[in-house]
Structure 1
Amino acid sequence: MRMSEGVEWGLHCCVVLAWLDDLTPLPVGRLAEVFDLPAEYLKKQLQPLAKAGILRSEAGARGGYRLGRAPQDISLMDVVTAIEGSTDPFQCTEIRRRGAGKTAGVEEFAHPCGISKAMRKAELAWRRELAGQTLADLIASTPATAERRTRRFIERTS
């Protein structure tokens, strides 16, 4: 399964926004500085998160992003779907029915393709695993030193 770097960026930004809830909203430029990322590209990654309600965007001179829901209410799958879309990664086009398959009897195709079934099963397990983990779970497994370091960085450069 290949995902864009936007998923990683989005998840990290969500963690930071959860840590720094008392300092939000944070402008996209400030979030970009935390990870040394290009602000304009990061903004394009955060916009779908705002559209999905994962983040809330606030306009104005003191505007920026904040979490749109509590960390325990944001699954990793929510973030992946917001950034990557909900299209199935595997698309079965039934190539088994082409070429040599054109001469096969109808009974040969009475059951779904084994490859398609295996891929769907793997995809479902992947989706369930991501849906079962929340932003709060990520935060709980992150060293407290990372939060303190990030907070000092934001407060020092404000």
Structure 2
Amino acid sequence: MTTLGNGTILDPEVYFAASLLLFALTLLLILIVWIKLRRMKKRYKQLLNGTSSTNVEELLIGMQARLDGFQEGVSHYSKAIDELQEQMKTSKTKVEVHRYNAFHHTGSDLSFSIAIVNEYQDGLVLTGIHSREETYLYVKPLEKGQSKYALSPEEKHVIGLTASKKE
């Protein structure tokens, strides 16, 4: 028998029974964890080995291969888009019209200038000058917004309108 400091006596049999109970509870806890771990391991093997209709490892490998293919496709399309953007810069997409009265003694704005240029201001300006008796048409080529032919103020104005136009 063992005596504690406050006078309580511990019987060795009670001490042994408590230790045995604690040991049994520990074994039971280890057994439960072992069973759960075994179930988890079994599910993991099923998942990777493909005992079901789908093998996850093969599925992941296939998805990675498809992703690589998509990345190659995106690269190809990105390059094609860049090429199209460069081609668009040289397309004559900016068009402006300016109507005006070339001769102040006539009654309306029947004269006109039309500028048709690309992003670099290359293209042409078409001018129609209308009088009572006849109409004259002039076409002047443009390079960087300039022409080797003299430009009228109206032609310069319509070219300036295309320069400020945002596409």
Q: TM-score, normalised by structure 2?
A: 0.23
Q: Which has the higher strand share?
A: 2
Q: TM-score, normalised by structure 1?
A: 0.24
- Looking at both structures, which has the greater relative contact order when contacts are Cα pairs under 8 Å and sequence separation is at least 6? 1
